[in-house]
Amino acid sequence: MPGIEVLGTEQQAAWRARRRPPVEKLPGGLWSVPVPIPDNPLRYTLSYLVPADDGLVVVDPGWDTDEGWTALLDGLATAGASTTDVAGIVTTHVHPDHHGLSARLRAESGAWIGMHPAERATLPQRRRDEHGDTRTEITTWLRGCGAPDAEIADLLGALDAAPRPAAELPEPDVLLEDGDLVPMRGRRLRAVWTPGHTPGHLCLQEPDAQLLLTGDHVLPRITPAIGSWPGAAEPPLGQFLRSLEQTATFDDHDALPAHEYRFRGLAARSELLREHHEQRCAEIVDVVTGLGQPTPWEIATRLTWSRPWAEIGFMRLSAVAETVAHIEYLAGQGRLGWPGYGATPARVTRSTP
């Protein structure tokens, strides 16, 4: 892609070969450690070890499986360390492929856990207290989006069969606001709040080595999922696009993402992501114009996905969430009419110029 330079060439080769890349030492003395994700096309999370005078900080330990734990331990050993050297854990966000091993690593090391305050509110136990059990919440949401009962039953069945994260993920000991320095001696690591993929998503800047750990916010090839979430102060897509403006300013930094491979060219990649979402918005407006007053589910079934709708399977949940996020954004711009979803499917309309 123009303006983007692949830095993790071994990582890219491994990605293309569908194998796990090696543990690597990076500029600034950091290490990248691939931790496998079970039954997932992403295959692994790139966990980062950040050395400081008072021990290591582990960023995004990965999914909680025995295989993942072994991979993390092996990565520590390759870096000449063990769990006793881990002083802190930072999660860019609390999805299980990032935060899953945090509890086990804290128990072994005594390390503190840090995250953004908005991310703490999305921990599964906190969402359960607010919204009830996951199946009920998903069922209500899908019906409000216009999903047929048979489709809902299929998706719930797929949800039950999928690898499940822990019902509870660890609470943080340290809250990191935008601009805060991670508590570590002898190294600067600054929190950069980039909401969109999740409400409290963080990137982490290492200014001396000119590195930006981008989590899932900016990846070199994949477009991060931007889905709707209840209670958002503004549409998540709007937050994501504004966050891209911020990460584009780090164009002179190496990008260390949580998936795929390292690269340089954050400004160009951020612009490509903005263009992708504008194209998706235009496609949704065209679908609404053609259908008249469709439900979000009906819109999602007619959009362009990486595979035909009938073959998406369980990822239809993510596809509908992404569709709703774009509808909310377009409604905020006055390009679509959208009353919001409830127990009765709400219809989307084309706004009159």
Distance CA 274, CA 268 (A): 10
Q: What is the DSSP string of 138-189?
A: HHHHHHHTT--HHHHHHHHHHHHHS----SS-PPPSEE--TTPBPS-TT---
What is the secondary structure of 17-60 as a DSSP string? HTSPPPPEE-GGG-EEEEEE-TT-TT-EEEEEEEEETTEEEEE-
Strand order in the sheet with 31-36: 24-25, 31-36, 44-52, 55-59, 86-90, 112-115, 174-175
- Domain 5-125+169-275 sits in CATH at 3.60.15.10
> How far apart (Å, rounded) are the C-alpha atoms in residues 329 and 334?
9
**Tens-level pLDDT at each residue, the chain (353 residues):** 678 999 999 999 999 999 999 999 999 999 999 999 998 889 999 999 999 999 999 999 999 999 999 999 999 999 999 999 999 999 999 999 999 999 999 999 999 999 999 999 988 877 665 555 677 778 888 998 999 999 988 888 877 766 666 667 899 999 999 999 999 999 999 999 999 999 999 999 999 999 999 999 999 999 999 998 666 678 899 999 999 999 999 999 999 999 999 999 999 999 999 999 999 999 999 999 999 999 999 999 999 998 899 888 888 989 999 999 999 999 999 999 988 876 678 899 997 65
d(CA 288, CA 295): 9
Separation CA 269–CA 65 (nearest Å): 32
pLDDT tens readout for residues 298-312? 999 999 998 899 888
Indicate the domain borders of the chain. 5-125+169-275, 132-162+287-350
